[in-house]
Amino acid sequence: MTCHSNEGKGWVELMNGKIHQFVVIGAGPYGLSVATRLRSEGYDVHVFGEAMSFWERHMPAGMFLRSSWDASNIGALEGPLSLESYERAEGIHLKKPIPLNDFIAYGRWFQQQYLPDLDPRRVMRVAKGQYGFHLTLNDDTMLYANRVIVATGLDGFAQRPAVFAGLSSDLVSHAVDRQDLGAFSGKAVAVIGGGQSALESAAILHEQGATVEVLARASQLRWLARSARLHSLPPRVLHLMYSPTDVGPPGLSWLVAWPEIFRRLPKKAQGPLAYRAIRPAGAGWLVPRLTDVPLTTGSSVIGATQENNRLRLRLSDGGDRTVDHALLATGYRIDVSRYEFLDPSIVASIRHQGGYPTLHGGFESTVPGLHFVGAASAISYSPVMRFVSGTWFTTDLLARQLKNGVGIVR
């Protein structure tokens, strides 16, 4: 191969044959499961990331997974890399619901089985090149790939209401920024939001000695009945009502569990159904932990100002609160323009729907060879892609599409 460029040592790697068939960016459940499956199919896959790092660094210590046991299996409902296989291999017994630390340990065990060579370097830039994509790393090395799979999850997509803009992080932070909620012991904290993140954060804060109030704009809080009343039903009955993916209410749970069917529904129907499947709600097992925590509904924060090192909140119901800190459990919003490692020319070429990339085939975007998996694929496929159980469909579909010929050279 002849070099006709002056791109430095990256071209040395290129001439030495270092063109990977796949590069996967991200080593959470989606990155791990996709890379493992592709390697099992015989593809050359290079993975960048630290296993389960987002879960470890951006989820609150003491958290439990809201998803059921079945829905927390990475890559497949059962098999050699399932939770049960992990228990047997390690000689342990996991609690239900699953503690965060145990799930992180499971993900790292999963990684060590088939992806022991994770590359911890950071991808700084992905750009189109003559031979596919060239990737610039944080040590200035350049690597090349035929295809790139973005599996970075929710990293970088925290949604922060504009009313809190400009305030110090000492006064306001997003839940993604706070791993140790014990730092707020003895403080007054307002938790903004009404979903699992808000409610569980409030429970942990209360148990760590903070004075807490939840402020939710919804008129009422919703609780997942399956977690409380339905869990004791016979397994066969429960299976008829809920898919093992554990996303959505009875009936709809099975529809969103089949993304290839869900994505063929009329667009005007997909939105309401997707919202119904994933609307904010808390697990039933949180209820007793919040008995002594004020849960204020129907109230939005319409003003936030600093007063004498504290935070004054003005509410839509006419009230106000003065607290030491506001914790924003206000969710995430995918926006392709916020992928800092994607070259601007690539971003400009990605067709999107409200920030979510428009995908087809094997999760491929309108930039040939660039794929997105996980939450970024939810609009194109199904809301189940926002959850760990979405890895089952993702790995199977991607493998099937490759076998059917999407242009990968072995």
What is the percentage of the chain residues whose pLDDT exceeds 90?
Answer: 86
Confidence band for 45, pLDDT divided at 50, 70 and 90: very high
Topology of domain 9-157+332-403, CATH: FAD/NAD(P)-binding domain (3.50.50)
Topology of domain 162-222+280-328, CATH: FAD/NAD(P)-binding domain (3.50.50)
Mean pLDDT of the chain: 91
What pLDDT, on a 0 to 100 scale, did the predictor assign at position 108?
98
Residue 349, SS3?
helix
Pairing of strands 172-174, 188-192: unpaired
Q: Residue 153 class from Cβ within 10 Å (0-12 exposed, 13-18 middle, 19+ buried)?
A: buried
Phi/psi region, residue 377 (left: phi>0; alpha: psi -120 to 50; beta: rest), is alpha
Q: Residue 2 class from Cβ within 10 Å (0-12 exposed, 13-18 middle, 19+ buried)?
A: exposed
Q: Is the dihedral of CA 171, 174, 175, 179 positive or negative?
A: negative
Confidence band for 11, pLDDT divided at 50, 70 and 90: very low
Q: Is the dihedral of CA 355, 144, 155, 31 positive or negative?
A: positive
DSSP state of 313: E
Q: Express each pLDDT in 121-167 by its tens digit.
A: 999 999 998 879 999 999 999 999 999 999 999 999 999 999 999 99
Q: Who wins on pLDDT, 5 or 111?
A: 111
Least confident range from 27-36, 103-112, 216-225: namely 216-225
Packing angle between helix 29-40 and helix 390-403, nearest 10 degrees? 30
pTM (2 d.p.): 0.92
Pairing of strands 123-129, 132-137: antiparallel
Q: How many CB atoms lie within 10 A of CB 147?
A: 24
pLDDT above 60: residue 226 = no
Q: Is the dihedral of CA 290, 294, 296, 302 positive or negative?
A: negative
Q: Who wins on pLDDT, 24 or 403?
A: 24
Q: Express each pLDDT in 158-197 by its tens digit.
A: 999 999 999 999 999 999 999 999 999 999 999 999 999 9
Across 32-46, average pLDDT: 96
Best CA proximity match to 258, nearest among 268, 249, 269, 245: 245
Residue 405, SS3?
coil
Please give the full DSSP string across 141-195, using - where no structure is assigned. Answer: -EEEEEEEEE--TTTT-B---GGGTT--TTTEEEGGG-S-GGGGTTSEEEEE-SS
Strand partners, 303: 314
What pLDDT, on a 0 to 100 scale, did the predictor assign at position 396?
94
Domain ranges of the chain: 9-157+332-403, 162-222+280-328
Peptide bond into 97 cis (omega under 30): yes
Please give the full DSSP string across 104-153, using - where no structure is assigned. Answer: HHHHHHHHHHH-TT-B-SPEEEEEEETTEEEEEETTS-EEEEEEEEE--T
Please give the full DSSP string across 220-281, using - where no structure is assigned. Answer: S--EEHHHHTGGGS-HHHHHHHS-TT--SSTTHHHHHT-HHHHTTS-HHHHHHHHHHHH-S-
Confidence band for 240, pLDDT divided at 50, 70 and 90: confident
What pLDDT, on a 0 to 100 scale, did the predictor assign at position 405?
67
Q: Express each pLDDT in 345-384 by its tens digit.
A: 999 999 999 999 999 989 999 999 999 999 999 999 999 9
Q: Which residues contact 278 (CB under 8 A, 6 or more apart)?
A: 247, 248, 383, 386
The encoded tokens of residue 381 equal 């496929």
- Based on its alpha-carbon atoms, the radius of gyration of the chain, rounded to whole angstroms, reads 22
pLDDT above 70: residue 7 = no
Same fold, 9-157+332-403 and 162-222+280-328: yes
Q: Hunting for tokens 């990968």 — which residue is that? A: 408
pLDDT above 70: residue 225 = no
Q: Express each pLDDT in 92-109 by its tens digit.
A: 999 999 999 999 999 999
DSSP state of 317: T
Across 257-261, average pLDDT: 94
Q: Residue 67 class from Cβ within 10 Å (0-12 exposed, 13-18 middle, 19+ buried)?
A: buried
Strand partners, 211: 188
What pLDDT, on a 0 to 100 scale, did the predictor assign at position 10?
38
Q: Hunting for tokens 């069917």 — which residue is that? A: 261
